[in-house]
Amino acid sequence: MAAQAPAFGPIANMATRTKVIVMAGTMLGMFTAAMDQTIVGTSMPRIIADLGGFGLYSWVGTGFLLASTATVPVVGKLTDIYGRKPFYMAGIFILILGSALCGLSQNVEQLIAFRVIQGLGAGMIMGIAFAILGDVFTPAERGRWVGLMSGVFASASVIGPLIGGTLTDHVHWRWVFYINLPLGALALTVLLVGMPNIKPPVKPRLDYRGIVLLLATVVPLLLAFSWAGSRYDWLSPQVIGFFGWAALGLVVFTYAELRTEEPLLPISLFRNRVFAVSALITLITGVAMMGSLFYIPLFVQGVIGRSATNSGLVTMPMMISMAIASGISGQLMSRLGRYKVLGVLGLSIMVGGVLLLARMDVHSTSTDATIAMIVFGMGLGTAMPLFMLAVQNAVPYRVMGVSTSTIQFLRSVGGTMGVAIMFSLIQRQYHNGLATNVPESVRSRPELARALSDPQFILNPQAYQQVQSAFSSFGAQGQALFSQTIEGVKTSLATAITDAFLLAVFVLAASVVIALFMKEVPLRKQHYTPEEELAAATPAAPAPAFDGIPAHGLPPVAGGSGEEPSASVAPPPPAFH
C-alpha cells in the first residue's frame, strides 16, 4: 500500500481558550519587561543619592542595555532548537530574580551587576514574544494580535515612569524593582499551566562558536555607541578602538557563519529580499525612532516649559495614537493579506510627524508638540510591527525564532545609534547656540558657563534656583539678564533638538524609498511554507532549500485529519508539554 501523504494542520491547533491563555501569559511577561525598561529612569536620582557612586550612574542603564540587546539574537536561535516555552519562562524568572536582587542592592556596583541580570531576562522576553505569536497564529491571523501587543508595550511605556515616580516618592525606590515580582510570578503561573511547548522534530547542533563571535561583535559596538559623544569623543582612541573591534568581529563572524552547517544566524536569510529590506528598514527607522523618542520630552519640558511628573506623561499622546494605529494596521493587514502599501504609508506618516517636530521652535506650544507626536505615533504604530510580520511570513518556520529576534536586535542597535548620534548633534548645536544667544557678560563667568553647558538644569528646580541666585552678583540688572539668558538657553536648545529631528526626517525619508523595493508576498493561511510542506511530504527526495536554508522535517502538528499517517512520511507526534 502506498504511503499516505501527511495531513497538515496548524502548528498549534489549540482551542480558543488555550490560545487566549498563551497570549495572556505572553503579553503579561512582555508588559513586565517593557515596564522594567522605563520604570527605573525617574527613580535614578534618588537611588544614586542613597547608594552613592555618581561616577557609575550611566552604567546602571548601559549594563541593562548591553545584556538585553546581546541576548536577543542568541535566544531566538535557541528557541528554534528547543522550543519557546522553556526560554520564555526562563526569561521571566531571570527578570524577577534580577529585580529582587536589585531591590536588595547595598551599593551601586551591586545594582549594576543585578541590572545586567535583569537585562538578560528582558532580552529573552522581548526576543521571543513575537515568535510565540507566530506559533499560535498563521501569518494571515497575526496582524489582529499585533495591535494588542503594541498596546501593551505602549501602556508599559506610559505606566512605568508613573509607577516609578510614585513608588519612589511615597514608598521607597526599592519597590520600583519589587513590583516586578508579582507581575512576573503571575505570568509564570499562566504560562506553566496553559502554554504547550512546541519542539521541532530535528535538533540542529548549537553554534557555540557563532555565539561567542556574535557577542564579541555586539558588545564593543554597543559600548562604542553608548560612550561616543558623552563619555568619550567620537574620534577618541577608546571609541575608534571599539568600532574597529566590532568591525573585525563582524568580518570574522560572517566568515564563520558562512562555513557552519547550522549557523547561529543564517547569512542566507539576507538573500531573502523581504528579510533584507525589512532588516535595513528596521535598523534605520530605529535610529530615527528611538533618537526622536528620547529627546521629545527634553523639548516639551525644557523649551515649552510644560510640567510633567515624568516623560511618560509627555509622550502619552504619541503612545496612545501608536496603539490605535497599530490595531487598525493589523486588522487591515489580516483582511487584505498585503503589507507593502501599509508599510510605505506608515513610514510616510512618520516622516510627516517628525517634520512637524523639526518645524517647532522656542515659541511652539504644547498643542503643536501634541499634534506632531500624535502624527508620529500614527506612523509608528502603522509601520513598526508590520515588517516583523512580513519577515515571519517570508521565511521558513524552522528559522522563525532567529529571524524574528534578529529584527528585534536590529531595532535595538538602531535605537542605540540614534540616541548617540542625536546626542552629539544636539550637544554641538546647543553650545554653538549659547555663543550666539547668551550675553557675553554671562558666558565670561566660568561658574555660569559651566552651569549653562548642560541644559538639564532647566528641568531641575534646585539647579535652576542656584543659577538664578548667581545672577544677583550682576546687581540691579541681574534679574533682567537672567531672563535674557534663559530665553537664550531655550532658543539654543530648541534649535539643537529640531536640527536632530531634521536629521531623523532624512533618515525616515530614506526608509520610505527602501520600502518601495519590498517584495510583496501574500500572507500565508498556514504556518509552513510550500517548500517545507513539500520537504516533509517527500522525505525520500533531497530536502529542498528556501533561499539557501535547508528544509528539515516540520515541527510537530496538533490536529490534522484525525487519521494516523504512515510513519514513513508523517511528522513526529506532537511534542506538547
Reported as a single tens digit per residue, the pLDDT across 281-331 is 999 888 888 777 778 878 887 888 765 554 456 677 888 888 888 888 888
Strand-pairing partners, residue 545, are 550
Q: What pLDDT is stored for residue 312 in this prediction?
A: 53
Cα-Cα end-to-end distance for the chain: 34
Final residue belonging to a domain, choices 175, 195, 215 = 195
Is 469 within the bounds of a domain? yes
Assess whether pLDDT exceeds 60 at residue 6. Answer: no
Least confident of 205-209, 301-305, 458-462, 551-555: 551-555
Q: What pLDDT is stored for residue 349 in this prediction?
A: 94
Is 3 within the bounds of a domain? yes
Burial of 560 (0-12, 13-18, 19+ CB in 10 A): middle
Q: How confident is the model at residue 128 (pLDDT cuts 50, 70, 90)?
A: confident
Over range 491-505, report the average pLDDT.
91
Q: Cα(323)–Cα(142) distance, rounded to whole angstroms?
A: 16
**Which segments of 171-235 does DSSP mark as H helices, in order?**
175-178, 180-194, 208-227
Say which CATH number the domain at 147 has: 1.20.1250.20
Q: Cα(60)–Cα(2) distance, rounded to whole angstroms?
A: 64
Q: What pLDDT is stored for residue 565 in this prediction?
A: 34
Task: Using the structure block, give the residue that is written with the C-alpha cell 528559522.
Answer: 399
Final residue belonging to a domain, choices 195, 213, 245 = 195
Counted residue by residue, the chain has a size of 577
Over range 488-497, report the average pLDDT.
89
Burial of 475 (0-12, 13-18, 19+ CB in 10 A): exposed
Share of the chain above pLDDT 70, in %: 83
DSSP secondary structure string for all residues of 95-151: HHHHHHHHHT-SSHHHHHHHHHHHHHHHHHHHHHHHHHHHHHS-HHHHHHHHHHHHH
Give the domain range for residue 134.
1-195
Is 200 within the bounds of a domain? no
Assess whether pLDDT exceeds 90 at residue 92. Answer: yes
Is 567 within the bounds of a domain? no
Over range 324-341, report the average pLDDT.
83
pLDDT, tens digit, for every residue of 55-90? 566 677 777 888 888 888 888 888 888 888 889 999
Share of the chain above pLDDT 90, in %: 15
More confident residue, 6 or 132: 132
Cβ(278)–Cβ(407) below 8 Å: yes
Is 313 within the bounds of a domain? yes
Assess whether pLDDT exceeds 90 at residue 469. Answer: no
Q: What pLDDT is stored for residue 247 in this prediction?
A: 93
Q: How confident is the model at residue 468 (pLDDT cuts 50, 70, 90)?
A: confident
Q: What pLDDT is stored for residue 248 in this prediction?
A: 94
More confident residue, 44 or 253: 253
Over range 554-558, report the average pLDDT.
47
Q: What pLDDT is stored for residue 566 in this prediction?
A: 34
Assess whether pLDDT exceeds 80 at residue 162. Answer: no
How many other C-beta atoms can be found within 10 angstroms of the C-beta atom of residue 30?
A: 24
Cβ(366)–Cβ(300) below 8 Å: yes
State the total domains in the chain.
2
Q: How confident is the model at residue 9 (pLDDT cuts 50, 70, 90)?
A: very low
Is 334 within the bounds of a domain? yes
Assess whether pLDDT exceeds 50 at residue 7. Answer: no
Over range 46-54, report the average pLDDT.
69
Pair 49, 152 in one domain: yes
Final residue belonging to a domain, choices 176, 195, 214 = 195
Is 275 within the bounds of a domain? no
Q: What pLDDT is stored for residue 1 in this prediction?
A: 42
Q: Cα(334)–Cα(523) distance, rounded to whole angstroms?
A: 8
CA-nearest of 341, 346, 296 to 325 is: 346
Pair 176, 316 in one domain: no
Q: Cα(169)–Cα(294) distance, rounded to whole angstroms?
A: 24
Amino acid of residue 167: L
Pair 88, 187 in one domain: yes
Coil/strand/helix, residue 273: helix
More confident residue, 116 or 158: 116
Pair 189, 295 in one domain: no
395-to-65, 276, 294, 398, 403 alpha-carbon distances in Å:
28, 11, 33, 8, 8
Q: What pLDDT is stored for residue 101 in this prediction?
A: 92
Half-sphere exposure of 172 (CA within 13 A, CB side): 7
Q: What pLDDT is stored for residue 459 in this prediction?
A: 73
Over range 488-493, report the average pLDDT.
89
Q: What pLDDT is stored for residue 530 in this prediction?
A: 62
pLDDT, tens digit, for every residue of 341-373? 888 999 999 999 999 999 998 888 888 888 998
pLDDT, tens digit, for every residue of 407-464? 888 888 888 888 888 888 888 888 888 888 888 888 888 888 888 887 877 777 777 8
Q: What pLDDT is stored for residue 138 in this prediction?
A: 80
Task: Using the structure block, give the residue that is written with the C-alpha cell 525619508.
Answer: 509
Q: What pLDDT is stored for residue 358 in this prediction?
A: 92
Q: How confident is the model at residue 570 (pLDDT cuts 50, 70, 90)?
A: very low
Torsion-angle region of 91 (φ positive above 0: left; ψ -120 to 50: alpha; else: beta): alpha
Least confident of 180-184, 229-233, 264-268: 229-233
Q: What is the 3-state secondary structure (H, E, C) of 376-427?
A: HHHHHHHHCCHHHHHHHHHCCHHHHHHHHHHHHHHHHHHHHHHHHHHHHHHH
Query: What's the whole-number average pLDDT of the chain?
Result: 79
Coil/strand/helix, residue 172: coil
Cell of 265: 544566524
Q: What pLDDT is stored for residue 202 in this prediction?
A: 60
Cβ(551)–Cβ(535) below 8 Å: yes
Q: What pLDDT is stored for residue 42 in this prediction?
A: 64
Assess whether pLDDT exceeds 60 at residue 545. Answer: no
Task: Using the structure block, give the residue that is written with the C-alpha cell 560612550.
Answer: 227
Over range 8-33, report the average pLDDT.
75
Q: Cα(226)–Cα(222) distance, rounded to whole angstroms?
A: 6
Q: Cα(457)–Cα(134) distance, rounded to whole angstroms?
A: 47
Is 65 within the bounds of a domain? yes
Q: What pLDDT is stored for residue 558 in this prediction?
A: 39
